[in-house]
Amino acid sequence: MSNQKIWREADVFAALSKRFTDPAYALLSQVRNGTGFARGRDRTADAIAISVYPSRGLFLTGIEIKTSVSDWNREIAKPEKSVAIQKYCRHWYIAAPKGIVDVSAVPPTWGLLECNDRGVRATKNAPILEPQPIDMLLLCSILRNVARATVPKSQVQHATNEQVEALIASRVKSIEYAYKTIRDNVAAFEKASGVKVDNVWDSGRIGKAVKFVKDCGIENLESRLRGLHDTAKQIAKAIKQKLEAAQEATP
């Protein structure tokens, strides 16, 4: 059985996120070429990396993700499909697990990024293209993608507060249950012993008495008390006999 990893599109995207990292890039998945149906023909890039550092240049890098040879063959059979978004990009790449794409079959205007467990490597660098300026339809599509992938700070804070409140309520409930258990046990002890444990002056003596009984054991203590009782009876009997003998000997 082969132990070779089965790559999914999400796995490749996760690998890409380690190459196109924040804050130098904003990496988005599944970006359409526009919103609504104004384009007439809907096209989607599997990923777009937006370079946001002016010192490096502000531009788009479009990426198509392929995870099987058949998927790649369908893509290369109709390379014109990429034009709808590629025309706005400075670079255009195919990203795939190593061994899926034959680099010699990659079109001259495309690059190849190959993924493995160690990361992403540019097997073929994409050439610099001459992108068209981004129009409002593509900009709106990008912004919608960002909005869908972003959780507002207020929502995060609200969810955090709810979790904290739930955790506090759970802890309070646990403490209340523990307190009730202790209170019930104390009440049962006081009823059985006739001793009030809330008397701080007797606390030490009660503790010693409990320890003594615990160490000796109830059955052992009862046996010792019976022995003492029998011994005391024998001593009392012997004393009585001595007294009677002394009285008889007295004139």
pLDDT digits (tens, 9 = 90+) for 221-241: 677 777 777 787 888 787 877
pLDDT at residue 152 greater than cutoff 70: no
Q: Which of 18, 16, 141 is nearest to 67 (CA)?
A: 16
- Signed CA dihedral, 33, 62, 94, 15: sign only: negative
Nearest-angstrom CA–CA distance, 42 and 57? 28
Neighbours of 103 (CB within 10 A): 11
Look up tokens 């024998």; give the residue.
Answer: 234
pLDDT score at 218: 64
Is the bond preceding 251 in cis, omega lying within 30 degrees of 0? Answer: no
Tens of pLDDT along 193-230? 777 766 655 666 677 777 776 776 666 767 777 777 77
Using alpha carbons only, what angle is made at residue 233 by residues 231 and 236, rounded to the nearest 5 degrees? 110
